[in-house]
A = this chain, B = another copy of it.
Amino acid sequence: MIASINPPRPKPVLNDDHLDQVLGALADRTRRGMLERLSVGPAIVTELAEPFDMSLPAVSKHLKILERAGLVERVKEGRTHLCSMRPEAYENVEAWLRFYRTFWEGTLESLAAFAEGEEGGEV
């Protein structure tokens, strides 16, 4: 069967809960917009909220989701909260994506090699 032609697979990168949080956080365009803003440099909550036609409490919720996912860090400075990006979470998701894509490519190569060596033959 097809499964057996692949090498033993390397271990997974992140646990399901973390992936749920990070990917769920990234799956919303408002939150991605905030990250885009933060990729330019740190910002306080009101600055972050400014481009969005949305109440501050809504922004606050989005921010909390980004924080829980580990994508954003927040530091209280007096009455303002300065937010900035954290790259680790991105790297983890990148690694996770790369893992599956690499595996898929590996599968194709294995299939090709298999077809080459065993033309018309039995598994």
Q: Which residues of A contact B (CB under 8 A)?
A: 2-3, 5-6, 9, 16, 19-20, 23-24, 26-29, 32, 35-36, 38-42, 85, 87, 90-91, 93-94, 97-98, 100-101, 103-105, 107, 111
Number of copies: 2
Q: Are B29 and A19 touching (Cβ within 8 A)?
A: yes
Q: Are B94 and A90 touching (Cβ within 8 A)?
A: no
* Residue ID in chain B nearest A3 by CB atoms: B40
In the assembled complex, the Cα of A19 lies from the Cα of B85 at a distance in Å of 19
Q: Are B98 and A94 touching (Cβ within 8 A)?
A: yes
Q: Which residues of B contact A97 (CB under 8 A)?
A: 90, 93-94, 97
In the assembled complex, the Cα of A85 lies from the Cα of B87 at a distance in Å of 28
